[in-house]
Amino acid sequence: MKFFIDTANLEEIKEAYDLGILDGVTTNPSLMAKEGISGHENVLAHYRAICDIVDDNVSAEVIATDYEGMIQEGEELAALSPKIVVKIPMIKEGLKAIKYFAAKGIRTNCTLIFSAGQALLAAKAGAAFVSPFVGRLDDIGTDGTGLIAEIVEIYGNYGFETEILAASIRSSKHILECATIGADVITSPLKPITSLLNHPLTDKGLAQFLADHKKANGK
């Protein structure tokens, strides 16, 4: 299972990378705006900075929603680094763009997936990743991780190579549910990832070990 971090914050990306468990980064226009990154050249420079930190799998999203625009932007993004995965929205023109990039050997991440039908189309078009949004489905009272299970089953039926990248992760519980179901990748903010580290019995056990060592050694 791969772990991606869902942020454009360079410090958080470095922190997750230093943990030794990070396989990639996903960004989106909202996350870039949150970091105050604006203007074409600044955006490109920021993607380069992210690529300098991690080993692979940096999702960079196109802004255009027409086919020609997505191709132009996607090619420019892909030219930044072989680590770049061009993020394309799940719309009709996006599907065509995914097909185009697949034929050129450029990896894509089809984003804003909210149904199994959308995931099936993205896989058929040749997306390297699909991003179903777990938390946003939960937000509207539907079963986010249920969608992950549905896509796992469908892709398994036909051996699609598209990786299921569970996105819009809000908690460590989401991460574990996705792992249990068999998602290939989760992308999450830093906190749900680091929350996986914690258990009160670990803290209690370590305190006891250290106390016993001190008693026996006098230091």
Catalytic residues: 87
189 close to 6: Cβ distance less than 8 angstroms: yes
Please report, for residues 1, 28, 58, 147, 214, the alpha-carbon distance to residue 165 in angstroms, rounded to integers and kept in the order given. 10, 14, 13, 12, 46
Q: Using the rule CB under 6 A, is 183 a contact of ligand G3P? A: no
Is 167 a binding residue for ligand G3P by CB under 6 A? The answer is: yes
Min separation Cβ 77 and ligand G3P, Å: 16
Residue 29 or 69: the one with the smaller Cβ distance to ligand G3P is 29
d(CA 171, CA 150): 21
Considering only the stretches 8-16, 43-51, 63-71, 133-141, report the one whose residues sit in contact with ligand G3P under the rule CB under 6 A. 133-141
Alpha carbon 216 to its chain's center = 47
Question: If we measure between CA atoms, which residue out of 49, 48, 54 comes closest to residue 17?
Answer: 54
- Interacting residue with ligand G3P among 101, 129, 133, 155 (CB under 6 A): 133
| The only residue of 2, 17, 69, 135 in contact with ligand G3P, by rule CB under 6 A | 135
* 108 scored as a contact of ligand G3P (CB under 6 A): no
Q: With contact defined as beta carbons under 8 Å apart, do 168 and 204 qualify?
A: no
Could you say whether residue 6 binds ligand G3P (CB under 6 A)? yes
Of the residues 5, 12, 28, 107, which one makes contact with ligand G3P according to CB under 6 A: 28
Q: How many positions of this chain bind ligand G3P (CB under 6 A)?
A: 9
Q: What are phi and psi of 46, to 5 degrees?
A: -65, -40
Alpha-helix runs per DSSP H in the chain: 10-18, 29-34, 40-53, 67-78, 92-103, 116-125, 134-139, 144-158, 172-181, 190-195, 200-217
Q: Is 187 in the site for ligand G3P (CB under 6 A)?
A: yes
Among the candidate windows 113-121, 132-140, 157-165, 204-212, which touches ligand G3P by CB under 6 A? 132-140
Cβ distance to ligand G3P smaller for residue 6 or 23: 6
Residues forming the site for ligand G3P (CB under 6 A): 6, 26, 28, 133, 135-136, 167-168, 187
